[in-house]
Amino acid sequence: MSEINRERNMLVEKNLGLVHACANRFKGRGAEYDDLFQAGCVGLIKAANNFDSSRGFSFSTYAVPVILGEIKRIFRDGGTLKIGRRVKEKARTAVKIKEDLSIEFGREPTVSELAQKMKIDSSEAAMLLNASMPVISLTSGEESECQIDVPVESPEEEISNFLALRQIIQSLDEKDRKMIELRYYSGLTQSKTASELGMTQVQVSRREKTILELIRKKITA
């Protein structure tokens, strides 16, 4: 495996949590979670293929908009992703091999270990596992068609919101961005922030309210 492919696979494997976090933002909007996650995996792979670390920003900063874009495509297209028969069959094979490796190792195998056993890339292994993943739900009986979705507080939701927030902050002009960073990342008071920026405390207070309202509107859009 080339060094480029190895680095790409590592990015995909280490950042699958980003896909879960992004997919969770769209739960309850009419699409199955596994479809959301699969679309997000497509975005993650695209991001890993095109990421350029020389530009000076982190992979997560670059990947989140790409992942969200692929997930939103489901809603724009008015449908969900279709999994072909060949992919389903390969996914079943992946699950069987994963179960065998779990018995052999005494633990869940990593995506890279599964990929190595199947002689495929980690990115493909991740997508195969996702293709076999059912939607988690509660039903009133084994044969019942009645499904009850139970909302739970997810730490992945917090991760997603945090990443989205960072994206919005990066889009602010330099002085506004500096104000938010001083207030909420450095923990400075309004008075100390005003001193750093050459403003009055009242000016900081008024501008901060305006910026927070702008951020609130963008993050809930």
189 and 93 share a domain?
no
- Rounded to two decimals, the pTM is 0.41
88 and 183 share a domain?
no
Examine the fold and report which residue of 136, 161, 191 is the final residue of a domain before the chain moves on: 136
* Structural domain of 198: 172-219
For residue 152, tell me if it sits in a domain. Answer: no
How many domains does the chain fold into? 2
184 and 122 share a domain?
no
Q: What's the CA gap between 19 and 12, in Å, rounded?
A: 10
Could you give the 3-state DSSP secondary structure of residue 148?
A: strand
Mean pLDDT of 70-75: 81
26 and 113 share a domain?
yes
124 and 177 share a domain?
no
For residue 148, tell me if it sits in a domain. Answer: no
198 and 125 share a domain?
no
Residues 178-207 pLDDT 10s: 998 888 777 788 899 999 999 999 999 999
Examine the fold and report which residue of 120, 136, 152 is the final residue of a domain before the chain moves on: 136
Q: Name which of 15-29, 120-134, 164-178 the model is least confident about.
A: 120-134
For residue 163, tell me if it sits in a domain. Answer: no
Q: Is 181 exposed, middle or buried (0-12, 13-18, 19+ CB in 10 A)?
A: middle
pLDDT at 153: 41
Mean pLDDT of 101-109: 83
More reliable by pLDDT, 137 or 98: 98
12 and 121 share a domain?
yes
For residue 149, tell me if it sits in a domain. Answer: no
CA neighbor of 149 nearest in space, from 35, 34, 28:
28
